[in-house]
Amino acid sequence: MELDYSAEEEEFRARLRHWLGTELPKLPARPDPLDWPARRAYDCGWQRRLYDAGYGHVHWDGSPTRRLIFLEETERAGAPYVGAGFVGLLHAGPTIAAEGTPEQRERWLEPVLRGDAVWCQGFSEPEAGSDLASLRTRAVRDGDAYVVTGHKIWTSHAEIADWCELLVRTDPDAPKHRGISWLAMPMDAPGITVRPLRTLAGTAEFAEVFLDEVRVPVANRVGAENDGWRVTLVTLSFERGTAFVGEVVACRRVLGELARTARKNGRWDDPVLRRRLGRLGAEFQALWRLIQWNVSEAAATGAVPGTGGSVFKLSYSHARQELYDAAAAVLGPDALDLGREWPRDRLSSLSYTIAAGTSQIQRNIVAERVLGLPKGR
């Protein structure tokens, strides 16, 4: 396995760096982070610029190595991240690319890449906890449509989304992992009510979604009826294996800023803090190497990330929280100022213990599928 970049890939890096240097000064000011409609317009506008320049496909329909270079260069240049396009670009889109029919790929993928469509994720449900397959939302077949009734929670970007990757129970009598289907639900369909949820950090990127006899065409089902759990595992593989990769680059930038801030405010004189930042630097370097290994393996085995994604997600969640705990130590009393970026990110980092499957779930996957330990009861 080769972890270094080739001359051709470095040429791609140079072209991208030049393009970013030309385009970024043209961008308007970033909107208020709490104003999600404005953030949607800003993020989709940036995605359209990438698409027009030939970089719109880089997240899933190109060389994995080029994607890593893209992430390194956009973060280095301070370019916008995927933002409102997170679900569509980083796990709904790749899932449709891997599991959808040719008609479904033609219908849904191009609008995501052009920045014309935003997706949300309707997986989690109240009282389900970490047991995703215990979902209760029902879909009853009625002619050429499913009639969907239920309640989703922690639905990312529901308030501004055009489409929802939705898990429903289509066979209530089957074992819980075998009676599920994966649907693409239009968010403007009658019967959908969205109620935003305000997080500890003050943002509202999550929502509750209530579904009252919502009709979803059967043609919107990705995969076979009652085979949705297998499709879901593909979605989770992308979510855990590659969706957070760009954030590791951002964390390495924050770590550098932490060190510079500590030198300015005198905290650098503390040897314990210096060792803490040095250890975090080593951890994020190791995570980047793990990412390179994971994307190399995925490219060699069919482009769907494997169980290495759970190793990454578990390690990354812990490292991210430690990073922002260290930020609090550097900032001192200013760490309580929620008007600043790092304190808000510290609160947000707490959610990574449960996002995309809890750390306990990831440990079980690592134990059973990577280490080969006996399955827990």
Per-residue pLDDT tens digits for 193-217: 999 988 877 777 789 999 999 999 9
Position 64: which residue type? P
Q: Which two structure tokens, joined as six digits, stand for 164?
A: 């929802």
pLDDT in tens, 251-298: 888 899 999 999 998 889 999 999 999 999 999 999 888 888 777 777
Boundary-marking domain end, from 173, 203, 226: 226
Regarding whether 222 and 234 lie in a shared domain, the answer is: no
Residue 25 lies in a domain: yes
- 73, 75, 159, 239: the catalytic one is 239
Q: Domain for residue 126, yes or no?
A: yes
Whether residue 118 contacts residue 80, with contact meaning beta carbons closer than 8 Å, is answered with no
Tell me what pLDDT residue 218 has. Answer: 97
CA distance linking residue 206 with residue 199, whole number of Å: 8
Same domain, yes or no, for 243 and 333?
yes
Closest to 298 (Cα-Cα) out of 249, 357, 234, 228: 234
Q: What DSSP character marks residue 371? A: S
136: in domain = yes
Give the structural domain span for 325: 230-371
Residue with tokens 């190595």: 65
Q: Is 110 a catalytic residue?
A: no
Stretch (H or E) spanning 210: strand 206-217
Question: Residue 365 has what pLDDT?
Answer: 80
The total number of structural domains in the chain stands at 3
Residue 209: per-residue pLDDT: 97
Residues 342 and 303 in one domain: yes
Residue 302: predicted pLDDT: 61
- Based on the domain organization, do 190 and 234 belong to the same domain? no
Number of Cβ within 10 Å of residue 36's Cβ equals 21
* Percentages of the chain per state (helix, strand, coil), in multiples of 5: 55, 15, 30
Task: Report H helices in the chain.
Answer: 7-23, 36-52, 64-77, 86-87, 93-99, 102-114, 228-241, 245-265, 271-300, 308-331, 341-349, 359-365
Per-residue model confidence (pLDDT) at position 312: 82
Low-confidence ranges of the chain (pLDDT < 50): none
Cα separation, 178 vs 47, in Å, equals 37
- Could you give the C-alpha distances from 269 to 30, 262, 265, 318, in angstroms and in order? 35, 8, 10, 26
Last residue within a domain, chosen from 79, 114, 149? 114
> Is residue 1 situated within a structural domain?
no
Task: Report the pLDDT value the prediction gives residue 132, as an integer from 0 to 100.
Answer: 82
Rounded to two decimals, the pTM is: 0.84
Q: Do both 97 and 176 map to the same domain? A: no
CATH number of 211's domain: 2.40.110.10
Among 114, 139, 172, the domain-final residue is 114
Please tell me whether residues 259 and 183 are part of one structural domain: no
Q: Greatest CA span in the chain, whole angstroms?
A: 71
